[in-house]
A and B are shown apart, each in its own frame.
Chain A
């Protein structure tokens, strides 16, 4: 999968995954730059669910030490692009 995904496309897919694993979050209120745990009480289980959803949707193997990079919407999108957009 060497094709570089469009930034907007990644953003909307990641946001859709977020609302799927946390349907009690109103996506319109998410500030992409803030840590999810600070703005919507993301706990370790939410974070794991988010990592699993991203891993499955983008076919990425995400090691445990990378979870921290999925802490905010923006950093999660950057992580996905970096990992799936070729090396």
Chain B
């Protein structure tokens, strides 16, 4: 059966994208959830995944072409239900999928499964040429065609030095990628502020127990297995979102739709400005070690410019954290159509009354911005307190 592979929408504000690179060639097999192409959007480079198992029969669009959402990019011959045993070159997907069209799992229907066996460092999988974002940017500045770079290092990684070596030519200076992203963020946030009646709550908590637990936990582990504080927060938010009604889902067509799964959007700042918030899928059901590996992989891919399309559209709630360098409190804006966002400032040592005495403790200012069409301050308050309670007792995470 012939299937058309179309450019998916990666957000309500996306109208078009430029095809940057094909990751599959005609004749190659693809599996559902596997990246097939890289497109350049205002949010950066994104891997677009295939929604079907099959074989690529034709690539309809050449790299460098700007295409609108919904345009046909390629044709596949889909592996039908009868011949569903796809060649298992890669490790199988996490949940075995039914060979017949499954009636179950309605919520997951729109989201292709992420291949479980994806290499930890997906920034450099073998076989395909990868062009680092810095190199791509420089190539654009120097007027070096992407195709030339691909030929230069077939199957390898193109770094910025390779570009400069190739560019004995002149440069039309262009710095529109960042301003494009700024415009997208501006439009999305303006719309969210205009349409969503935000309410804000703030809660200060003693992060000492979490920090002590983490230090002890990490001391026993190899460096590759150690956790970051941010993972504890992500898990705590995910558990609270799964338990309390009204924070995990979407507000669409005038009503709240609760999401069955908890996919935590994680704001990641890009060097040089801008940010993206791809999702950690099923964060409430994964142990901390698994979440840490996925978070680590996500950041590596964001840095290398290889996010996956489903990670962009899947988030049901978002966490944004300023990290160690920021101020202590932030008031985030909800990422529509989601209904809540949790903000974490820098954890700072401050005086704190504990057991009747003033002590120096690491304090975390946790904020919640939530949609008043769905919840009110009282429920929001319980939500923040549930997160705080989990962080006070990290063994429960």
**Which residues from chain A sit less than 8 Å from chain B, CB to CB?**
19, 21-28, 37, 40-41, 43-46, 48-49, 51-52, 55-56, 61-64
Contacts and interface: CB of A to CB of B under 8 A. Distances in A.
Interface residues of B, number: 32
B228 A45 contact: yes
Given A23-B134, A23-B304, A25-B271, A64 B215 contact: yes
A62 B222 CA distance: 9
B247 interface: no
A21 B300 contact: yes
Q: Which 4 A-B residue pairings sit nearest by Cβ, starting from the closest?
A: A23-B132, A45-B299, A24-B133, A41-B271
A44 B230 contact: yes
Interface in B152-182: 157, 159-160
Contacts of A24: 132-134, 270-272, 303-305
Given A22-B303, A23-B133, A45 B215 contact: no
B273 to A, nearest CB: 9
Contacts of B271: 22, 24-25, 40-41
* Most chain B CB within a 10 A radius of its CB, from A23, A48, A49: A23
A24 B215 CA distance: 30
Interface of B: 123, 132-135, 138, 157, 159-160, 215, 218-219, 223-224, 226, 228-230, 269-272, 295-296, 299-300, 303-305, 323-325
A11 to B, nearest CB: 16
Contacts of B305: 23-24
Given A23-B303, A27-B160, A43-B323, A48 B134 contact: no
Contacts of B323: 43-44
B187 to A, nearest CB: 24
A46 B157 CA distance: 20
Contacts of A49: 296, 299-300
Contacts of A25: 134, 271
Nearest to A48: B228
A85 B31 CA distance: 48
B123 A23 contact: yes
A65 B299 CA distance: 22
B303 to A, nearest CB: 5
Nearest to B228: A44
Nearest to A39: B271
Contacts of A61: 223
A52 B323 CA distance: 20
Contact of A26 (B160, B223, B230): B160
Contacts of B325: 37, 43
Given A24-B272, A44-B228, A48-B223, 11 more contacts: A19-B132, A22-B303, A23-B123, A23-B133, A24-B303, A43-B269, A43-B323, A45-B228, A48-B226, A49-B299, A64-B215
